[in-house]
A = this chain, B = another copy of it.
Amino acid sequence: MQRYDVAGLGNAIVDVIAPADDAFLLTHNIAKGVMTLVDEFRADQLYGALGEAQEIAGGSAANTMAGLASLGGKGLFVGKVKQDRLGERFAESLDTLGVRYSTPMAEAGPATACCMIVVTPDGHRSMNTYLGASRELTPSDIDEAELAGASVLYLAGYSCSAPEAKAAIEKAIGIVKGAGGRVAFTLSDPFCVGRWRAEFFALLQRIDILFANEEEAKALFEVQDFDLALQEFGGWPGIAALTRSEKGCVIARGGELHVLDAVPVSQVIDTTGAGDQFAAGFLYGLTHGKDLATSGRLGALAAAEVISHYGARPETSLQRLAMETGLL
């Protein structure tokens, strides 16, 4: 059986990035600076209007797999695209990185998910996400033989999933747990947390590793202060990896607690993907025998790399960076 350090399961999305001015946003009724979910009709309309655009495979869990690969880790991605141009593009990008991707492409139904990102001259990113095929994952897409080989199953975007996709996720959890692996989960954003709190708490009982940024952790426990959220994890047996932007991160497992600094960057260019890459570094460490503190430092290093340039995936070898700083 093929072994994987991490199997990432999440929305398979292609980012379509184009520059435009504020007039374009007004003409096309795009809300500035935020992420809006759109339907296929509107997605087509916007795609047609964008003109010359850059297409980059994205999606939170797939970005994490890209980071894992950059560290030299072995990753499997599970997520649904349609067999269309963007779907092929998505699959190619993972193949190029050496990430295994074998989820069958949909032959009919909604198009491959895409996130149209309009970058205005002031640097703001206005996002319109069409989830399309990514919501069509079903239990039959979950390959038991492959998933059983994963040391860690990493789940992103659980809350926003369709019922069939949730059943697929449940199946994946069962397979990985059954094979002795661990399950990691990332809280997606503070709004998600607020809306799905009861569901998240139920899930907490079944997962081993939780990623959350400070705002998400506070939203989960409905507290105003980071330390109050941290104390809530005191009785939880899993590993909580709590990221705090420039304040670094805190890693907690029962009584063991690490307070780690952020890795300094000369200039923060684009924070997109910081959480995804933190998870990549942390999970690489955990699956390679590193202690919690070293794993956290690997996460911080990967996050620092990705925020120092545009885009949500590493542009330099994280493995080389980690070796240079003595973490590997």
Q: Tell me the A residues contacting B by CB distance below 8 Å.
A: 225-228, 230-231, 247-248, 250, 254-255, 257-261, 293
Nearest Cβ in chain B — how far from A285, in angstroms? 14
For this complex, 6 residue pairs linking A to B, each with C-beta atoms less than 8 Å apart, are: A227-B258, A231-B258, A247-B248, A250-B259, A257-B257, A259-B259
Instruction: Give chain B residues whose Cβ lies under 8 Å from the Cβ of A261.
Output: 225-227, 247
Instruction: Say how far A305's CB is from chain B's closest CB, in angstroms.
Output: 19
A255 touches B255 (CB 8 A): yes
- Chain B residues in 8 Å Cβ range of A254: 255
By CB atoms of chain B within 10 A, which of A226, A247, A255, A259 has the most? A259
Interchain CA distance A255-B234 in the complex, whole Å: 10
Cα(A259)–Cα(B230), bound, Å: 8
Residues of B with C-beta under 8 A to A228 = 293
CA distance A258 to B229 in the complex (A): 10
The list of the 4 closest CB pairs from A to B, nearest first, reads: A255-B255, A257-B257, A227-B258, A227-B260
Which residues of B sit under 8 angstroms from A259, Cβ to Cβ? 226-227, 230, 250, 259
Report the Cα distance A260→B247, complex, angstroms: 11
Residue numbers in B under 8 Å from A260 (CB-CB): 226-227
CB distance from A326 to the nearest CB of B (A): 11
Interfacial chain B residues near A255, Cβ < 8 Å = 254-255
On chain B, the residues within 8 Å of A231 by CB distance are: 258, 293
Assembled-state Cα–Cα distance A254/B226 (Å): 20
In the complex, which residue of chain B has the Cβ closest to the Cβ of A257? B257
- CB-CB nearest in chain B for A296: B227
Q: Which residues of B contact A250 (CB under 8 A)?
A: 259
Name the distance in Å between A264's Cβ and chain B's nearest Cβ: 13
CB A132 to nearest CB in B, in angstroms, measures 41
CB distance from A200 to the nearest CB of B (A): 22
A225 cross-chain contacts in B, Cβ below 8 A: 261
Identify 11 new A-B residue pairs, CB closer than 8 A, beyond the known A247-B248, A257-B257: A226-B259, A227-B259, A227-B260, A227-B261, A227-B293, A230-B258, A231-B258, A231-B293, A247-B261, A250-B259, A254-B255
Of all chain B residues, the one with the shortest Cβ separation from A229 is B259
User: How many angstroms from the CA of A227 to the CA of B226 in the assembled complex?
Assistant: 18
A260, closest chain B residue (CB):
B227
Residues of B contacting A257 in the complex (Cβ-Cβ under 8 angstroms): 230, 257
How many Å lie between the Cα of A260 and that of B231 in the bound state? 11
- Which of A228, A254, A258 has most B Cβ within 10 Å? A258
Bound form: Cα–Cα A231–B292 in Å = 12
Q: Which B residues are in CB contact (< 8 Å) with A258?
A: 227, 230-231
In the complex, what distance in Å separates the CA atom of A11 from the CA atom of B231?
A: 38
Measured between beta carbons, the chain B residues less than 8 angstroms from A248 are 247
CA distance A293 to B225 in the complex (A): 11
